[in-house]
Amino acid sequence: MTRSGAFEQVLRADPELLRSIVNQAADAVCLHEVGGRILDVNRRMCETLGYSREELLALSVMDIDVTATREETAKAASQLVPGEPVWAERVLRRKDGSTFPIELSLSRVVFGERQLMLGIARDITDRKRAEAAQAEAQRVLEERVQERTRHLEAVNRRLEEEIQARERSEAALRESEERFRSLAERGHLIAWEADGKTWRFTYVGPRAYDVLGYPVAEWYGKDFWVDHLHPEDRDRVIAACVTQGAVNHDFELEYRMTAADGRAVWVHNIIHVSRHEDGSLRSVRGFLIDVSARKRAEEMQQLLLHELDHRVKNTLSTVQAVAEMTLRTCGSLETFGETFRGRLAALARMHATIWRTKGGSVPLRELVEVSLAPFGRRGERAVIDGDEVPIPVQSAGAVGLVLHELATNAVKHGALSVPSGRVEVTWRLEGDSLRLEWRESGGPPVVAPARRGFGSVLIEQAIPYELRGSTSLDFTPLGVRCAIAFPLPAPPSGPEAEAISRPV
């Protein structure tokens, strides 16, 4: 028998079950005639509108729907196809006179010769507020962009006026350049100037040594700039300079240069081209800015985004697997809900512990204590003993779920179900591997279960699959014994380690 067939039999055997299910729905449900008279509502409908069920049964949808009319209601009903709901946004009025927006799913129900309407309403007040806030934020942003654009246009006009003034007076230009160079050399810019034909430096600011490590005198050598472009960027940058220099007065480039110690240094080059009256290049000048720190930050941000995407996908896969396994091993919806909520809560505690460590390794002791905490660990009823061992974030979720399942079983059937019971959790390092043991004592006599549940499957299959480890689970008469062993991966290094240890 299919699940749907079994569910229909349950409904026929207990008609009140359907009303109970509808009353527990998160959305408001209303059954009314085509003319609008309300026939039945669920508890959520009463709570949302502030009426009692008896009061609502004395009303019609025109009394609670601000925009509804009898003609509109009849027209909508005539256009509906049974079993095919339509969606619309409406405004409802509460008993106290206040109104709020809803998203309405309206369906026509054929019941013998009667034509009825089924409406399911969801309060979308928060969504409307969010949309209004987003629209307001967009408006403010557009205003700021326009203001910034006007400011930039004004700045550009001032720069053009300054350039024109420099071209009219060579002496004023030299004086202005000297003043600007003096200011730039006190900052974090490399002021430079090069010949328009050879692109050979004719001036380089003293900050050049701090950026690349070469003495300033070497910068004046023939082809210094070309020879110290990063090999992977050289052709692109030279082609861009030739192309842009032929048609533009000002342009900018970002590329890498090779430092004296072999490092690749990212620079942002702001370039201005000065021309003779015939249009040929006279000189090229500008400023080099070291942007390596910004580039590293961008790389770290991308790494963090990939890491976040990976972890979210893993979490969703874990939740799906837990839901499927719990559904297969639970005999009723009530048992499923209780068990599934407990397992999700364990996952939540696990993730909270992981993120308190900024996404890095999780201390195994803290993971054990978090797993046992919800089950009333007190005094000597649970003994935790082991070295300070950091568990990689990739392994912490699986280990935490195993501990949660063992603790849950101990509370329900094992050592923690009686006052005299005791649990010992110990671990030790064996080379590059970790061995963890769970031992129960002082509880009721243990009998091996006739049916394998979620915990057994998780321990015996998930641990070997996810952690490439080994497990043993024994139901001895004196108490449950469980041992898991798995290799600890080497700690990450380089940019990945820096990204993982950096706060999000």
Domain ranges of the chain: 3-123, 169-289, 296-496
| Greatest mean pLDDT range, 122-136, 244-258, 387-401 | 122-136
- Is it the case that residue 444 has pLDDT exceeding 80? yes
Q: CB neighbours of 428 closer than 8 A, spacing ≥ 6? A: 386, 387, 434, 435
Cα–Cα distance, 342 to 324 (Å, whole number)? 15
Would you state the pLDDT for residue 502?
Answer: 39
Other beta carbons within 10 Å of 405? 22
pLDDT tens per residue, range 330-373: 777 777 887 778 767 766 776 677 666 655 688 888 888 877 76
pTM to 2 decimals? 0.37
The residue among 45 and 489 whose pLDDT is bigger is: 45
Would you state the pLDDT for residue 504?
Answer: 31
- pLDDT band per the 50, 70, 90 thresholds, residue 3: very low
Span 3-123: which CATH code? Answer: 3.30.450.20
At the topology level of CATH, where does 169-289 sit?
A: Beta-Lactamase (3.30.450)
Cα angle 7, 13, 18 (rounded to 5 degrees) comes to: 60
- Is it the case that residue 462 has pLDDT exceeding 60? yes
- Is it the case that residue 70 has pLDDT exceeding 90? no
Cα angle 324, 325, 328 (rounded to 5 degrees) comes to: 90
Whether domain 296-496 has CATH 3.30.565.10: the reply is: yes
For the CA atoms of 239, 242, 244, 245, the dihedral, rounded to the nearest 10 degrees, stands at 160
Grouping H, G, I as helix, E, B as strand and the rest as coil, residue 437 is strand
- Is it the case that residue 501 has pLDDT exceeding 60? no
- Is it the case that residue 293 has pLDDT exceeding 80? yes
Other beta carbons within 10 Å of 109? 13
Cα–Cα distance, 277 to 375 (Å, whole number)? 86
- pLDDT band per the 50, 70, 90 thresholds, residue 94: very high
Domains 169-289 and 296-496 share a fold: no
- pLDDT band per the 50, 70, 90 thresholds, residue 109: confident
Would you state the pLDDT for residue 256?
Answer: 92
